[in-house]
Amino acid sequence: MSNTYHFSLQPSETVIFQAAANIFASYIVAGQVTSENQEKKMKEAIAASIFMARHVETVIGSDDQISGKARQSLSNTVREEGNRPF
């Protein structure tokens, strides 16, 4: 008989989980995950997703944190940065 697990993740936790799962999946597709390093690579994926989320939060902020002219300025900046060839 299999175990049944129930989770109640907050919205921000769900976003981090989804990003970590995508990163971990990319490690698998790239052939970087073995049975020996599976847990290590999973933790790396989680750490990377948290790092990215923190960076996004500091760069962009939320609608609750900015308003009016600051939001318009940010929108223009994001559009300009989106046109950069990386």
Helices (H) and strands (E) in the chain, counts: 3, 0
Q: How many domains does one find in the chain?
A: 1
DSSP letter string, 13-65 = HHHHHHHHHHHHHHHHHTT---TTTHHHHHHHHHHHHHHHHHHHHHHH--TTT
- Does a structural domain hold residue 2? no
In a domain, 5, yes or no: no
Q: Residue 75: its pLDDT value, please?
A: 56
Q: Is residue 19 part of a domain?
A: yes
pLDDT per position as a tens digit, 40-84: 999 999 999 999 999 988 887 665 555 555 555 555 555 545 544
Residue 55 lies in a domain: yes
Position 38 in a domain: yes
Q: Is residue 6 part of a domain?
A: no
Q: Classify residue 49: in a domain, yes or no.
A: yes
| Residue 45 belongs to domain spanning | 11-82
In a domain, 3, yes or no: no
